[in-house]
Structures are given as structure tokens and as C-alpha cells.
Structure 1
Amino acid sequence: MARKWNSRWAYGAAIMVIATAGAQSAQAQTANPWMTATIIAEQQSAPDDTAREAVAKRRAKLLISAMTLDQKLQQLTGAKPEILPDLPACLGGRHVTGIAALDIPTFRVTNGPVGLGQNDCVSPDAGKTQLHMPGFGDISAAYTHPSSAKATALPSAIGAAASFDPAVAGMYGEVIATEMLDLGLHVFEAPGVNLARLPILGRNMEYFGEDPYLSGSMAVAETKAIQSRGLIAMVKHYAANEQETNRQTIQETVDRQTLRELYLLPFEMAVKDGKVAAVMCAYNYVNGQSSCENRTMLNDVLRKDWGFTGYVQSDFFAMKSTVATLLNGADHEMPLPLHWAPAKIRAALDSGELTQARIDEALERRYTQTFKLGIFDRKLERRPIDFAVGGKKAREIGGRATVLLQNNGALPLRKDLRKLVLIGKASQVYAQQAVAGGGVVGEPMGAGGGSSDVVPNYTVTPLAGLRAALADLGNAGASVRLILVDDANTSATIDGQSATFAQVQAEAAAADAVVMMAGTISEEGADRATFTDQTGHQLAASAAAGSSLDWYAGRSNKIATSDGDNRAKNSGTVAMIEALIANPKVAAKSVLVLKDNAGVALPASLVGAKGPAIVEAWFPGQEDGNIVADVLFGRINPSGKLPVSLPFTGKGFLDHVNATQFPGTMSADGKLQTVTYSEQLAIGYRWYDANIGGACPVSNGANACLAFPFGHGLSYTSFAVGKPELTRTGGTWQVSASVTNTGKREGAQVVQVYVGLPASADKVGAKQPPRRMIGYQRIALAPGETKQVAIAIDPKASHHPLGVWDEQAHDWVIPKGDFTVWVGASSAPSDLKKAGIIAS
């Protein structure tokens, strides 16, 4: 049983434990007033977060008052790649160099969110290599070199969201924080809370899915876990950063109500509930302003409306100006002194465009958080990571992340089977390697993936995981064969020996179990779409093609085109699966394991009684083989739920988008590419529920467009949810229901609460979808056991469960009328029971 995140842990006590040793030794006798033992003790003994931050802010002011202008300018930005003075074994390019005379430690930043990717420590020899980055010329390999310090490669963030359990997000943050402390790091550039507006978004695996409340609740839990250990969490990418194609220049146009109700909501929750210390401003423009100089977003919304007291860091190379960024709310440029190079800031000071007061404010915001979290008060050092512990937790997280989509009786696999065949594509990684973002056949994990590019200590392949599971179950003599099929489905290899596809079919027919693996590789830098050329301005094929199991490109971080070096190709995966399960006896013993960035569009031929059992494993990370084997052999009873909607092929949102929605339309001069979120509030399950254009009617409680709805997930046991009740206490409501495990083995169910808004809500602005999720609770049950779930509905909560953003009033309002509250095991109408009405 995993140690769950416990909200009763004393935030201040945890910081005190981390900080005390260093504070009472060398720093206790310092002459610097911001580092005296007295002021450190005062901060540690502060009764609450507000008081602690007040002391930290006072320390920041004392420090800044002692700094020269040169020192202040040096501290505003990241440093050029260098051997770290404090850590000579590391070449780093993700830090601010410390100032020993002022007791300012080297401030170290690591990538995220699926583990400690590019973490400010590569081999010093890597400095001899130069990489070319478009727009920035040659830069040091310190930013991307595969010699990066190793860390645990966790399952993808969307997998953590699929647990529908903040305790899993807390465990996720616990692994990350432990290893950050091991490696002497201070800032984790995550959690990421952009939404899966586009199923083909290259970075969906780094985020928490399509629902803002689920995203926000997971981000809050992860943030608390990280910051309780004296480290900075940095929620990103602020904001409306839902497209990788031309992300540096894309103009995102989103109406204010849609921004507030969807895309800003997880950020608001992270700020208000998670007390997140930092926010990362994004590459894109929002409503005409660059994200890192967007006064409306950085000052008016973030600070004035939400009360954010932390600091804003730029995404790497995201700033586009000197004066506007600093004036309008950014506080820290990473990774280099480019726009905020000392000469440029001095020129702006001399011209009167900037003041030292604003520079001081930017530093004060960051120093306040670093003091508050004890970063000044402990020695910068590195120690060995316990990879066994990290791997064990990664495996547990992956098991909780896995979703059982359908089961034809093939699962769990028999422990006494004699022959199992593992089938995948020769051109794809899924059956061959442990899978993370950016995986390429034959290249190790850590060789691609952008922010998710974690270099693990070890990986577990699917073949190794299945064989180890059988051995552990006392069946080491079972045959497990690896079969790889070419894209044309004409030839293959069986355990490395050449074969025909007819032989593959014969092997499947003779096996006791058939496990097929497929998915969708993606990563930072590009979306899964085919363009006419490398400009990414015009699609060469439907946007929906990228959400299929067949689409792939040689490099997922580059724009794929219909021809050229990074040509989009067809793996023939769906045709292969259809050919194998055409034999009903093979279909009955087949399992399709999906590993993908955010769900796929599935052909109707694979869904239903004639299809295989289907398991969604997302990107499992380094423990891939063990995670999947645990679920397939029933050592784990899957309890994950879909954080995204899975449509039928040809019936998804992407089949209906126009060029204004993706990839954007070009201005007459060809210089400006603008994306308009014209679907407004109708994304994900809300789009399907709303039956936009009449394409997705509901029949017998199921949406005609959906293979599997948001929130769906099966188990190896069964559950019954009793009649729900809605009760009111003062200004809040509570939804309660009994849940019974009606099966024969222990399992867990996730009860979800949705609300339908009154018709008057549409008069405020954008048309509201039929339902929005406002609560959920995971509950574990023994066979035959019944428990009660109780989920609160608080209109004043940070996720505004009953609220609608009124742009004219510049405030959240609760529309008049009846709110219908629903309880169920997914967003599908057939899974929902009416709990009652909230009248306003």
C-alpha cells in the first residue's frame, strides 16, 4: 500500500526539518542580517503560511537593500552554461549563479513534469558540443544532452490524472521532491495544467486531461507535496498554451469567459488552494499580447484577482521584449540573459523606461519564496538517488493510472498459460521498449521527449515485464514470443526470425493469450498532424488523422509533412489488429494495450463484444513492462478512469475543426498565425454532450460519437452505486451515495459528480454545456463491502462549481434557476443518477 499524501502534514514543520541543520551551523554566525539564526528561527516558528511569508519577505527586502545594481541584474536571469562552482561534476545551464558574499545560493531549476528531466547537470564534456536552435543560433548541449543526471522516469502526468485520486498526484510529487533534494535542485517546472483541447496536442501527456477541475485538483495535490519539502513548484504554461505547432509565434484568441471557466481555472486552483510559489509564462500570445508581457494575465488576473504572491518565470526563450516583460509582470528570465541582459536593462533604466524599484520587486517576489521554502537555509549538495524506491513508486503510480476500457473475458490473463505472443509494429516502440514521450525505436529513454526527457537508471521492456510476471507466478516455463510486423502487414519477425504475416496469424491462433501493443508517440515541439510543409501553416490531411493508431512520423518533436525528411507515415496498425481478431477464437483471447499521449480515436471494429479487451496504459515510463504485466495478470485490479474522451474514428471533435481552430489562419502578409477557440466552452466531453451540429446524438444513454466517455473505466470486480442524496448545510451542499463491491475481489470505484446549469446561464455569455464535473471521490472496497461517499459542493470554492464568469461584471456569478446534480461512474448519461436540484 502506498503512503498517501496527508494534508495534515505541517507545512512549516517540514520546512523547519529541512532547513534547521544548515541554518544552525555555518549560517548561524553570518554577518548578513537576512541570515541570522534569530530571523531564521522566527520564520520557522511562524504560526501559519501568511506569517511565514511575511518573515521571508522581510528577509528578501534586507537582502535586496544590500545588493549593488550589478548583482541585481545578474540575479534577474539564468546564467550561461558553466561548470557549477558548488558542484564541479556538473555542467549546468538551468540556474542562477549564486553570490557567496551575500549568502545567495546557486538557484537550480529542473525540467518537468514526469520526473527530473534536464536537471542542470550534464557531463562537463558535453560543453564541447554545440546545438543549433532556430532563432537562437548555437547553444550549449547543457540544455539537452543525454548525459543529464539520472532520475526516476515516472508514468506520464495524464496517467496520474487517470487515477482520479489526488493521493496519487501527491505520491507523484513526493518522488519528484525526494529526488530534487538528492540532486540539489530547487525549482520544479511543473505541474502542467494546460487542457487537452486538441487530442493531438504534442504535450498532452504532460498535462492532466480535458477537464479543468480534475486538472486543478491534481495540480494542487502535486504542488503541496513538492512545496511541503521546501521546494518550488511552478505551474505552467500560463496560459492558453494548447498548441505546439509554431508555439513561439502563435496568436491564441480566446474570449474572456472561456478563459476563466476552462483554461485559467486550474491555474486559479493552484494559486488559491496549492499556494504555488511560481508560475511559468508561455511562448504563445493570448488575445494579442505575448504571454510574458501580458499585463492583463500577469497583473490583473494572477495578482489582483487571485492574490498570487509568488514570482513569474519565463518558459525557456519565451520572452520577446525587454521593457514590456519587466513592466507587465514577469520576474525572471530563463535560461540566458537575452532580453534582460545587463546592458539592455541599464539602457532602459537610463532612458527612464524602467526603474530600479521594479527590478527590486521582481527579485523580492522570487527571494520571498526561496526564503520561505528554506532554500537559503540549507547547503547545496548532491547525494545518490535511491532508484529502487523511485521505481517502486513509479510502478504503483502506473498501476493506479491504467484504465480497463473493455473486457471480453480475456483479462486477467491465466497464470498457468503455456504460450503468450506479444505483437507490435517493427516501426513502433510500444511492444519493444519502455515508453515515454518522444520514444524512437532503438534509442534509449532520455534521447527524446523535450520537458519529459528523463534519463532513467533502468527501464523494463514489455517482454521482460511479462516474463518476470509469469516467473513470479510460478510459471517460468511459459513461452513468451515477441512478434514485430512491418507497416504493410506482409512480413514480420518472430523472436528475431523472418516470418510472413500468415505465420503471425498462425502463432496467434495457437497461443493461449495474444497481447497487442499500439499507441501514439508525441512530445514537446510539434503536434500529431500532417502539414504541407515545415512552416506548419496548412494541414495536408485532416487533423483527426493524428489521433489514430496508424499515424506516425520519424521525429515527434518536428512538424510532420506529407513528404520530406519528417514525413508522416501509416503504420498499418488498425489493419493488423483487424486481421488478427477476424478469427473469433483469437479475438476472445486478445488484449490491446494502448500507450499514448492522450487517448486515441478507435475504429468501431475494435469496440464491443467482437473486439479485444482494451487497456489504456498511457506512457508508463521506466517501469512500463512491470506496470502492464501487473494489470494483465491481475496482480493489480485496474481502477483508473479516462481523463479524456475517446471517440470513434471519424466522429471526434477533430473531424469537425476548421482552420481557425487548428492550426490557425494566416494574416494577409503571411506573418501572423491566429488560432481562435471558437468552440468556446465545448471541449472534450462537453463538446460531445452538447451534440454540436447534431453529429453526436445520445441513444440508450450512450453518445453515438464516443467509443468510451470521459470518466469511464472498468474493473475486475463490479460495483453498484445506491440512490444518491443531496443535502444542504448552510451555504454548502453535500452529495452522498452508497457504493457496494458486488464482485469477488477487492477493487476501487470513482464516484463522479456533475452539475447541469440552469438555462439562464446562457444569457451571461457563451452557451453552457449540458454538464460539468464538479467533484469526484475514489473509494476502495473489499468484496461485498459497502461504504458511503460524501462529496461537498461549495459555491465559494476556487473551482466555482456553480459559477459562470460574467465579463461585464468582471466577476463570477451564480445564475438564477435550478442546477441539476448528477452522480455516476462516468460522464455518460447511462452512468448517471439524479441526486437532486439546487435552486438559486
Structure 2
Amino acid sequence: MEKLCFIILSIFTLCSVAPVAATARMLYVNDTGIPVTQVYKYACHPQRFKDLGLNIEHFTYCDKSLSYEVRAKDIIDRLSLEEKVEQLGNRASGVPRIGLPAYDWWSEALHGVSDVGTNTTFFNDNIPGATSFPTPITLAASFNKSLWKAVGQAVSTEARAMNNFGQSGKSFWSPNINVVRDPRWGRALETPGEDPFVVGTYASNYVRGLQDVEGTENTTDLNSRPLKVASCCKHYAAYDVDNWYGVVRETFDAEVREQDMIETFVRPFEMCVKDGDVSSVMCSYNRINGIPACADHRLLHDTIRGEWDLHGYIVSDCDSIDVMVNRHHFLNDAPEDAMAQVLKAGLDLDCGEYYTKYGANAVNQGKVREADIDKVLKNLYIVLFRLGHFDGSPQFEKLGKDDICSQSHIDLAIEAASEGVVLLKNDNNTLPLDAQKVKKVAVVGPHANATKVMIGNYAGIPCKYTTPLDAFRQAYGNDNVYYAPGCPDVACRDYSLVFPAVQASKKADAVIIVAGIDTSVEAESLDRENLLLPGYQYELIDQISRQSTTPIILVILSAGGVDISIAKNNSRVSAILWAGYPGEKGGQGIADVIHGKYNAAGRLPLTWFENDYVNQIPMTSMPLRPVKELNYPGRTYKFYSGSTVYPFGHGLSYTTFKHSVVTTTRSLSIKLNKFQFCRDLNYTDGAKAPACPGVLIDDINSDNLNIEFEVKVANVGERDSSESLLIYWVPPQAIVDAPIKQLVAFEKVFVPAGESVKAKFNLNAGKNLGLIDYKGYNILASGEHTIVIGENDASFPLHIEIEEYVFNQED
């Protein structure tokens, strides 16, 4: 028989006593102690008010006929100053006297519902796990926009199901969309790579997957658009140093030129807000040109809320205000001064305690207006209304345990792992393995039986791991798989384990070495010192290659690139694959690619540098372009011209594609009027500048400056396969500081063997071909541009001519 009782689980305050950090929610509970049915699924439930001794008719904020803005104002107007500030931390206390429930804003869902955050209850017997998809760096390697959205949809479904049991919130501070400027950055696994356009496209698609409620995507009033869950793009901005030789994120001052800010550091966030309609942005710990990011009025108020028109709230990285006061010592502010500064800068929510502790004092001391607090509360409550926090979300309330770790989500996790695998080397078509020739395999290396390594960080408890060893045993049978780790862990300092791995390799028809790094090498608060494999991993690979006569396949688990030049140049290492951190089903994904069940189609989302790169430039140097005075090389594929282990966008296939381009646009002509002026660009010495070098894009109407073309992809091999079409723009030669090339579009297409498909692209010169000059202007340049498909698989020239207006006597 079911009993009615109170359980402390987190979200709703149901009693009239002062709330505590974890607040009470009433559930029906069966005799086993497992929650069965929630009594109150939303705050404005009539019975809930009755049990609180309140008449719901007296509270306008529960009137569904009114707008969210009017209802939010009703809440705010009922609160005292002290009560208002109590709602401004990540653990909003609620106000029982007016029926306002408590709410904890902090949950995480980077690549699955995580147990990180104060509002995600640790998994228990009721819900023991959730699907853990590949980390973003691996998902990015798929270059598959529909996959990114599908993963977001699956994650938000599981989040809503967990929320129905009180084990998850409805607001998630994910994804991380910082650009990987330096290969040593420890948080590369959390990001979609080094290209701002890819990062922004990933962000907008993943956010759409998390947030969009089917049928309401095109709601005209975005402040009333329903949310499945509330997402957050972080960490804004110019954040990509965690802990490098004592330089830590909490005190780092990123000295950044406006040129780099516009084209690299803020572009993904702009795309996330404008294209993804994200409901939150998180500001970072670091300073930018001396100003803490969370205190920068121009970056927060003027840009995010003003220029980009954010429909949601801005939140600090946790304890950022405390960091500003006690680590940055910014302006030597007292706590109340700091609280007032960040509030005025545009910060709505404090992940921390500064707003709740010092907010009332700041108002009473005249340092900030109470009306300013009212504004940020309105931003917060409108998001909660959109989440159904007050009125419920009937379409999600039936989600239950069957919607978590469902077979469709497990299959999606396998697909995502397979799509994220990048084939780096495949001599003599060693892969896929020939089932007629390969009956026994050796599976060796520190990651051969990886579990937690595969899910990286910001992960919860997976439904069930499939390690590489598991997958190969399933394929060949236990007796035909010879396993020896070769290393006790990723540090690989025990050379005595190399010999058993070599002996295992001699028994097999093929050897799979699963090596790489993990979060003991690259992680939040831990940047890398080099780009090498740790310990004796190179020796393990070398000894097996010397003594084994069978094909050797090297699989690397990592986020950042690893200098594996030795293996790349070793003719005995037949094939190399990179799998990133492939999620709970990563072993199955890797095995499916090696066996040809899935044809490799991934592409590297970041450049793999040679290890000497770390000796050429300090991690703290922020410019993307080369610094000639200091002999610093450029960063990322856009500005680095030196040799690499593998370039951005590299990836092989088991089939052969031929590409051709059909376009009717080979030139664009722009005639300026008397209100438009030519803009100068810097050219290399000896280069002849056009009569009109360029025009400010904001000064022209670029609606008719479209470049339409089709790419025909013919699969002339023997295997069906997907192809990742990467479209680059190469600016006119001799323009100083222009990128070497820049990705402007990409598409995933499936092409059966012996057939061809056509992919249509429509670029816009104003939107896609702009050069950010050193002054921060966005300029369309005259001259010979080039559109390149892939690694020079096909290309076509594009001539842009800008004609200066000639004044006549009548003017």
C-alpha cells in the first residue's frame, strides 16, 4: 500500500519553515521506498497552495491567462529586498509565504546527464545511470549537424525523465563552446575544437536539441517560447588557460586584440545566442585586457543582451565574484562594490554567495538600485515560466525510467562513437579487417579495457560500458582475443608489462593497440606540458612493431592531438585511428569502424601539432596570428603554416570519392554609392593593391551577393560511405594577417558505392567572406578569392570587384 510522505529531493519548498539548501518535495512512495508518483509537478498546483494554507486565487503569478512578464512582475513585487537577493544565487531559497518554491539552477549535461552540479542528485537504485554519449570533441569529429541535435534531444529527454523523479533539474549549464586555441589546453575534450564556425554550429544544434519543444521552434515571441530544458553556453570569453606552469584561470589576464575577439573568441557565443536561441550564457573567471569577464559591461550588457538580444539570463562561473575580489583584487573592491559592479554589467545569477550575502547591503549603501535587482529577477523567472516550472509541461510529465538508457539512446551512442572515429592512416587498405584472414586478435595497451576514460569529464554514471576489449571479444569470442594491457595505467611507467603485450601480439592475426592519454593528463584545471604519449607507450608500440609480423592497428584516445610521428612513419604500423573519448559504447564504435560495419568518415576537429610546437610559443600568448617579433608561430589551421602530424579536417575513408563543382557564380561586382567608401587593407611588400581594396560589410546590402554552387560527390570505391564535405574560403593573396584558409560551410552526405550525390551550398559574401582587420572592422576584400572543397579535392575561383563611386559636378 502506498504511503504519502515527505522526501528531501531538491526543488520545491512545501512547508512554511525557513528553507534549507535541499528543499522538500512531496511524493507518493511505495513500500520499497522508491518514488512512484509526484503529487506536485509544478509550482502553481492548486492543492500545493492549499496545503501551504494559501489561496491560489490571490496570486496573480499563477494566472495562466497573463503574460510571463506580468506574472514575473507579480512575484517580484511581493518580495522584500532581503527575499529578492535570496533568489539570486544558484540555490534560490524560495519564499513559502507567497508559495514561491525554491530552485537550484545548477545541473550539467555536457554529453549526457551528469552528476556534477548541486541540483543533480547522485544516481541511485531508482535511476542507476543515464546514457553517456561521446564527449564534444568526438561528436565534433563527425561534422554531422543532425547528429549533434539528436544527441541533445536524447539528453534532454533523459533529463526531463530524471526530473520527474526529482533527480535532475531543468536548467543545465552546458555546452562548453570555448575555442581550442592551444593544443595544450586541458579542457579540449569538453569543446567542439579549434574552428569558431564549427564550434558555433555545434553549439546552436546541440542547444536546439536540448531546448526546443516540438512545434514551438518558430514562436514569434521568443520570451514566451517553451523550453524542454534550459541550456547555457559557456565560458564567455577568451577562456582557454586552466593551469599551465602556475598560470591559472582564476588570475589569468587574457590580453586580446579586438580582431581576435570578434573572429574567434566571441563568434561561437554569438551563433549560440542568435542561431541557437540559448537561454543562458556563463561568463568566465579570467580577465580580458584587465577587466574580469563577469564585470565587463560591454561584453555582457551591451553585447549579449543588447546586440545579440539574449532571451534568458547571464550566470557567473561558480564563485567568479569571489575570484574577482580575492584573486584579481579588481579595483580593490569591497564585496558590496563588486556585487554592484557585476550586477550593473549585466550578470543576472551568481553561482556562489555574493549576491545573496551582500546584495541587500549594496542596495542599502546606495551602490545599486533595487530596481536593477528587479530586472535580473525578471530574466530568471521568465526562463522558469518557459520551462513549465510554474504551470507544468504535460508533454514531458509522462517520461519515466523507460526513457532513460533506452535502446534507441544506446544505439545513438554507438552511432555517435562510430561517426566520431577518424581514420588517420590506412596503409595497403589494412582496414577494415578481413574476416576471412583475421580469426584471432590481440588487444593491448593502457586503454584496451577502458571504461571511465571513455566518458571523460562532466559525466554521470553510464547505462553500461562496452570497452574495446568487450567489443572484440563479442566479435571473435573470448578464446580468440589475447589481452595484455602493456601498461598499468596511462602513465605507463612499468616496463615489465611491455613483454607480455608483445607475446600476446605474436599469437594473433592482427594487433589492436589502444593507447593515448586521459584526464590525468588533460582536464579542467590541468593543462598539458607536452604533446607526447606518456611513459613507455612509445616503447610498447615500437616493441610490438619489431616483433609482430601481423597487421598493427593503433587506436588513440585523447582530446588534444598527440605527436605520434613515430607511429605515422613506422611502416609496420598499418593503420591509425583517433577515437577521442567515445562515450560509454566507445568500444563498440571503435570495433564497428575497424571491422567495416561503419565506414570511417570522421575528420579531425583540431590540428595535431608536432611536439616542438610547445617550445615555440607559450600557452599564455593570446594572438592567433604569428608574432614575428617574438618568432611565435600562428595558431590553428587558419594561421599556422608549419608542418603538422595531421592537419585540421584530415580523415581517410575505406572508399574513394571524386569531387567536382558546378557553379554559376564566378564573380561578384559591387558598385559603391556616394555614401559608401573604399577601405584600405594592408598588403605585403611589393604586392599591388586593387584600386578599391575593400568595403565595410556593414555599409553594403549583401542580400544579392550570394555564391550558389553544387558539389558532386561520386563514390568510385566498393563500399557505401558517408562523406564529410568541408568547404573553405581562401582570401585574396598578399593581404596581411588574412587567414590561410577558413571553413565557411560543411555538410555530411551519404553516397552508396558506385553512385553519386549532389550537395547544394549557398554562401553569402557579406556573411561568409568577411575579413576582420586589425582595427576590428569587417571588410569584404576585392580580388581573387577561392572556394576549396576538402583537402583541395576541388575548387573554383571567385572574383570580387568593388568599384569606387566617382563624384561628378552635380554631387
Q: TM-score, normalising length from structure 2?
A: 0.76
Q: Any idea what SS the aligned residue of 1:721 has?
A: strand
The answer for the alignment partner of 2:68 in structure 1 is 56
**Which residue of structure 1 lines up, in the alignment, with residue 65 of structure 2?**
38
Aligned to 1:734: 708
Q: Does 1:164 align with 2:102?
A: no
- 2:545 maps to what in 1? 581
> SS of the residue aligned with 2:235?
strand
**Equivalent-residue separation in structure 2 for 1:649 and 1:57 (angstroms):** 55
Native 8 Å contact 1:323 1:354 kept in 2: yes
Equivalent residues in 2 for 1:212-361 (5 A)?
212-229=196-213, 230-245=228-243, 246-319=248-321, 320=324, 321-334=338-351, 336=352, 338-342=353-357, 344-361=358-375
The separation in 2 between residues aligned to 1:251 and 1:410, in whole angstroms, is 49
Report the CA distance between 1:639 and its aligned residue. 1.1
Answering whether residue 754 of structure 2 is matched by residue 749 of structure 1, we say no
Distance in 2 separating the partners of 1:202 and 1:236: 16
Alignment partner of 2:154: what SS? helix
1:432 is matched by which residue type in structure 2?
A: N
Compared CA separation, residues 680 and 657, structure 1 to 2 (3 A): closer
Among candidates 406, 416, 429, match of residue 397 of structure 1? 416
Q: Does residue 453 of the first structure (1) align with residue 459 of the second (2)?
A: yes
Deviations 1:321-346 (A, max 9, x none): 32211121111011x4x21134x112
CA distance in 2, matches of 1:307, 1:683: 31
236-245 or 400-409, which deviates more = 400-409
Note the alpha carbon deviations across 1:580-601, whole angstroms, 9 max, x for none: 2235834xx1111111012222
1:75 aligned counterpart, secondary structure? coil
What does residue 611 of structure 1 align with? 573
Match of 2:698 in 1: none
Q: 2:628, 2:170 → 1: CA distance?
A: 37
* 1:156/1:436 contact within 8 Å kept: no
1:776 to 746, 750, 769: 746
Pair 1:121–1:406, CA change in 2 (3 A): same
Q: Which amino acid aligns with 1:400?
A: E
Residues 435 and 23 of structure 1: CA distance in aligned 2, closer, same or farther (over 3 Å): closer
Q: Distance between the aligned counterparts of 1:434 and 1:839, measured in 2?
A: 57
Q: What is the one-letter code of the residue matched to 2:87?
A: Q
Q: Classify 1:271/1:160 alpha carbon distance in 2 versus 1 (closer, same or farther; 3 Å).
A: same
Cross-structure match for 1:825: 790
Name the structure 1 match of 2:448. 431
From 460, 469, 474, give the equivalent of 1:468.
474
Deviation at 1:77, TM superposition (A): 0.7
Distance of 1:756 and 1:180 partners within structure 2: 43
How far is the alpha carbon of 1:712 from its aligned partner?
A: 1.3
Post-superposition CA distance 1:663-720 (Å, at most 9, x none): 9xxxxxxxxxxx99999994211233xx3xxxx2xxxxxxxx1222111111221111
* Alignment partner of 1:721 is 2:631: no
Alpha-carbon contact 1:189-1:236 (below 8 Å) kept? yes
**Maintained 8 Å contact 1:753/1:773:** yes
SS class of match (2:86): helix
1:78 is matched by which residue type in structure 2? N
| In structure 1, C-alpha distance between the alignment counterparts of 2:318 and 2:611, rounded to whole Å | 36
- Contact 2:440 / 2:480 at 8 angstroms: preserved in 1? yes
| C-alpha separation in 1, matches of 2:448 and 2:762 | 43
Tell me how far 1:455 sits from its aligned partner: 1.9
CA distance in 2, matches of 1:524, 1:478: 36
Q: Which secondary structure state, in structure 2, belongs to the residue aligned with residue 613 of structure 1? A: strand
Residues 241 and 527 in structure 2, CA contact (< 8 A), matched pair in contact too: no
Q: Is the 8 A contact 1:253 1:676 kept in 2?
A: no
Q: Distance in 2 between matches of 1:224 and 1:658?
A: 37
Between 409-418 and 344-353, the greater mean CA deviation after superposition: 409-418
Question: Counterpart of 1:508 in 2: which secondary structure?
Answer: helix
Q: What's the counterpart of residue 809 of structure 2?
A: none
The structural deviation recorded for 1:575 is 2.2
Mapped to 1, the partners of 2:95 and 2:109 lie a distance apart of 23
1:507 aligns with 2:512: no
Looking at structure 2, the residues matched to 96 and 112 of structure 1 have their Cα atoms a distance apart, in angstroms, of 23
2:765/2:780 contact within 8 Å kept: no
Pick closer, same or farther for the CA change 1:209–1:157 going to 2, 3 Å: same
Q: When the two structures are superposed, what TM-score results if normalisation uses the length of structure 1?
A: 0.73
Residues 24 and 104 from structure 1, CA distance in 2 versus in 1: closer, same or farther, beyond 3 angstroms? Answer: closer
Q: Quote the offset at 1:159 in angstroms.
A: 0.8
Q: Deviations over 1:153-196 (max 9, x none)?
A: 21110111111111111012112101110121211211111111
Secondary structure in structure 2 of the residue aligned to 1:208: coil
Listed one character per residue, the Cα deviations across residues 422-469 of structure 1 (whole Å, up to 9, x for unaligned) are 1113xxxx12222447xxxxxxx7xxx65x132223222221111123
Aligned position for 1:116: 113
Alignment check: 8 A CA contact 2:484 2:501 kept? no
- The CA deviation at 1:393 is 1.7
CA contact (8 A) 1:406 1:613 kept: yes
Match of 2:582 in 1: 620
Q: Does structure 2 conserve the Cα–Cα contact (< 8 Å) formed by 1:249 and 1:285?
A: yes
Which residue of structure 2 lines up, in the alignment, with residue 388 of structure 1?
A: 406
Aligned counterparts of 1:119 and 1:605: Cα–Cα separation in 2: 37
* Backbone CA RMSD of aligned residues: 3.3
Classify 1:121/1:77 alpha carbon distance in 2 versus 1 (closer, same or farther; 3 Å). closer
Asked whether the 8 Å contact 1:681–1:769 carries over to 2, the reply is no
1:102 Cα shift? 4.0
Displacement after TM superposition at 1:369 (Å): 2.3
1:681/1:822 CA distance change after superposition, 3 Å: farther
- Residue 656 of structure 1 and its aligned partner are, at CA, apart by 1.3
**Residue in 1 aligned with 2:191?**
207
> Of 171, 176, 195, which aligns to 1:192?
176
Q: Which residue, out of 512, 515, 519, partners 2:516?
A: 519
> Would the aligned equivalents of 1:517 and 1:595 in 2 still touch at CA under 8 Å?
yes
Q: CA deviation at 1:146?
A: 14
Matches within 5 A, 1:527-676: 527-529=526-528, 543=529, 545=530, 547-550=531-534, 571-583=535-547, 585-586=549-550, 589-607=551-569, 609-650=571-612, 652=613, 654-658=614-618, 660-661=620-621
Which residues of structure 2 form unaligned runs of 5+?
1-39, 50-55, 164-168, 214-227, 325-337, 669-702, 803-811
Report Cα offsets for 1:98-142 as digits up to 9, x if no partner. Answer: 758345463443124122222557999xxxxxxxxxxxxxxxxx8
Which residue of structure 1 lines up, in the alignment, with residue 682 of structure 2? none
Cα-to-partner distance string for 1:746-788 (whole Å, 9 max, x where unaligned): 10111111112236864xxxx1222111111111011111111
How far apart, in 2, do the equivalents of 1:624 and 1:312 lie? Answer: 35
Determine if the alignment matches structure 1 residue 372 to structure 2 residue 386: yes
Structure 1 residue identity aligned to 2:191: Y
Percent sequence identity over matched residues?
Answer: 25
- Contact 2:262/2:772 (<8 A) preserved: yes
Is residue 706 of structure 1 aligned with residue 723 of structure 2? no
| Unaligned ranges ≥5, structure 1 | 1-19, 40-54, 80-94, 125-141, 438-444, 493-499, 530-542, 551-570, 664-674, 697-704
SS at match of 2:419: helix
| Contact 2:107–2:173 (CA under 8 A) maintained in structure 1 | yes
Deviations 1:543-591 (A, max 9, x none): 4x2x2112xxxxxxxxxxxxxxxxxxxx2111221222235834xx111
Return the alpha-carbon distance in structure 2 between the equivalents of residues 680 and 378 of structure 1: 56
Letter paired with 1:398: A
* Distance across 1 between alignment mates of 2:566 and 2:177: 31
Q: Counterpart of 1:814?
A: 779
